[in-house]
Amino acid sequence: MIPPQEASARRREIEDKLKQEEETLSFIRDSLEKSDQLTKNMVSILSSFESRLMKLENSIIPVHKQTENLQRLQENVEKTLSCLDHVISYYHVASDTEKIIREGPTGRLEEYLGSMAKIQKAVEYFQDNSPDSPELNKVKLLFERGKESLESEFRSLMTRHSKVVSPVLILDLISGEDELEVQEEVPLEHLPEGVLQDVIRISRWLVEYGRNQDFMNVYYQIRSSQLDRSLKGLKEHFRKSSCSSGVPYSPAIPNKRKDTPTKKPTKRPGRDDTLDVETDAYIHCVSAFVKLAQSEYQLLMDIIPEHHQKKTFDSLIQDALDGLMLEGENIVSAARKAIIRHDFSAVLTVFPILRHLKQTKPEFDQVLQGTAASTKNKLAGLITSMETVGAKALEDFADNIKNDPDKEYNMPKDGTVHELTSNAILFLQQLLDFQETAGAMLASQETSSSATSYSSEFSKRLLSTYICKVLGNLQLNLLSKSKVYEDPALSAIFLHNNYNYILKALEKSELIQLVAVTQKTAERSYREHIEQQIQTYQRSWLKVTDYIAEKNLPVFQPGVKLRDKERQMIKERFKVSWGPPPSTASRCCGGDTDPESLCLGRFSFHLFAGQGFNDGLEELCKIQKAWAIPDTEQRDKIRQAQKNIVRETYGAFLHRYGSVPFTKNPEKYIKYRVEQVGDMIERLFDTSA
């Protein structure tokens, strides 16, 4: 059981808690009552506020709607006034802009175009709204007058500021291709930048608003004239430079192609420097045309509408292009006339020009892309003409070498190289500078399929065959000409000199390699011909050496005193001392000849002229001293060989008979020592000795 004291304490504690809870509950009841009262008050306030808002809205909305209407009315009034002002302004356009239009656009293009825009709009307004209005006629007339002024300004700007490109600038432009370092190409300034911008603006206005294409004709006529004058100025520059200094200023054309020579060509026989200048000038004019035409097209693209550019460009370049083509055809015509005259050196003008035209053709075709077919085909036609006349020249040259009639006149008296030979070789050497061009000329006349299938190799073989043909014709002609000489020895010297000249020329150039393409043994053949002519020449000395050769001399024992019977036998055997040679005398003469007469005959007999050794030696040396062998090596070789033969034979003769007592005055008949004979032969072929 719980003690009474604890139970009493527990009860008091519970009573205290209960009392506290009752107080809390009473506080909550009071708070709820206050909250309800506040809520009622708030609801009353809100209801009152809502009522007032309703009253305010009913008062404001009508005022707001009325204000909107007033604003709309104001805007309409303003728009109407603006439209009226705009319409009224069209009636003042003519008077406002007339002075500006009358004074023209020069110096104030921006303001002028602004005035023209106002006039354009006025014209459009009156056409749409009042087509019968007199104001329409006024603005139309003003517009036409303004358009004419713009056209005139376009012409004036193009005329005043389009300048001829100077020759030096053109040459620098062309020579720029030679620079090893790649440089950015600087375009030519045909018009000052400010003028160019004005021209562009005028052209665009005329196309868009003026509905006028006449300015394009003005453009191409002015630029065409400048292009043509620039090319003519370049050509005149070459003429003046050649007259003043003999050598025109001329940057080298790029040597980037196999066909281009890497050294200055040998001067052509009979070639006029004037022709070289004309050729050089024409070649540069062709390159200049390409560069200037490219530049003209760049300028044209900024000024002329795109769909008119090709046609305008075609018209622009016609005069300059026709001038080039006409000059080219004149060159072809001159070449044809030169062929008729057999002046083949003049025909060589065609070769560098044709080569350059073919090299330039890709650029030409690119520049002329989009032009008329007749324009594109002009260069191709000129190339064909040049190839045809070039092939004709080559063919006629070969025939002329074969049939050259000059056999009696202009033959070199000293047996040196004939002019025909030197001219032929020089002509062929010129072809080396134009191998591909000449080969293409020959190939262009061929109709075989191989000509197109293997053009490069085929052309090379054709050129090789052609050169061999010319050399063969030359050899035949030289053989024919050599018969003009009465002396076979001089004929041999003549052929030797010419054959040797040909061989040396072949060896010093690429001709020998080109000949070897179709004729492998050409070099060996010429050496055999040269050696054959040397042997023919050496036979001319047999008339001297054979007479004193041991085989034609009497046999006797040196130092043994001749008995009368033996002396008589010698007299009978060598009775003839001033007649034909021993072999002939033994057949035609049967009488006795004494030893003295025999020995005298050996020293003074000449096989053909009835002279002795001394006279024969002197006569041959006198004659052959006037002959010529230009090649030092060959001259020394021939003289040395002949000197050895004669000295050996003469020395043996002196050794055998020099001590024979055939006369009391031997010095009268033994005129020369062996060394002297050698010295005399050493002076052969030397007109200065």
Cβ atoms of residues 685 and 642 within 8 Å: no
Instruction: With H, G, I as helix, E, B as strand and everything else as coil, classify residue 179.
Output: coil
Query: Could you report the per-residue pLDDT of 131-166, keeping only the tens digit for each?
Result: 888 888 888 899 999 999 999 999 999 999 998 999
Report the pLDDT value the prediction gives residue 244, as an integer from 0 to 100: 58
Q: How confident is the model at residue 593 (pLDDT cuts 50, 70, 90)?
A: very low
Q: How confident is the model at residue 82 (pLDDT cuts 50, 70, 90)?
A: low
Cα 624 from Cα 300, distance rounded (Å): 76
Residue for token pair 């035949």? 476
pLDDT above 60 (res 120)? yes
Element containing residue 323 per DSSP (H, E): helix 306-340
The CA-based angle 384-385-389, given to 5 degrees, is 120
Query: Could you report the per-residue pLDDT of 613-622, keeping only the tens digit for each?
Result: 777 888 888 8
Cα 83 from Cα 73, distance rounded (Å): 15
Nearest C-alpha neighbor of 386 from the set 241, 269, 286 = 286
Residues 6+ apart with CB under 8 A from 222: 155, 158, 159, 162
Q: How confident is the model at residue 515 (pLDDT cuts 50, 70, 90)?
A: very high
pLDDT above 50 (res 256)? no
- At residue 201, φ and ψ (nearest 5 deg) are -65, -40
Q: Which of 84-93, 130-139, 258-267, 611-620 has the highest mean pLDDT?
A: 130-139
Question: What is the 3-state composition of the chain as percent helix, strand, coil, each rounded to the nearest 5?
Answer: 75, 0, 25
Residue for token pair 């020592």? 673
Task: Decide: pTM greater than 0.85.
Answer: no
Q: Which of 92-101, 310-319, 656-665 has the highest mean pLDDT?
A: 310-319
What sign results for the dihedral spanned by CA atoms 183, 187, 192, 195?
A: negative
Asked which of 136-150, 328-342, 359-373, 403-417 is least confident by mean pLDDT, the reply is 403-417
- Cα dist. 517→341, 395, 463, 464, 476 in Å? 32, 20, 9, 6, 22
In Å, the largest CA–CA distance within the chain is 219
Cβ atoms of residues 298 and 187 within 8 Å: yes
Report the pLDDT value the prediction gives residue 661, as an integer from 0 to 100: 62
What sign results for the dihedral spanned by CA atoms 150, 155, 156, 157?
A: positive
Mean pLDDT value across residues 430-453: 75
pLDDT above 70 (res 340)? yes
Instruction: With H, G, I as helix, E, B as strand and everything else as coil, classify residue 301.
Output: helix
CA 358 from chain center: how many Å? Answer: 8
Asked which of 44-48, 93-97, 245-249, 396-400 is least confident by mean pLDDT, the reply is 245-249
Percentage of the residues of the chain whose pLDDT score is greater than 90: 42
Instruction: With H, G, I as helix, E, B as strand and everything else as coil, classify residue 640.
Output: helix
Residues 6+ apart with CB under 8 A from 315: 217, 220, 224
Q: What is the mean pLDDT of the chain?
A: 80
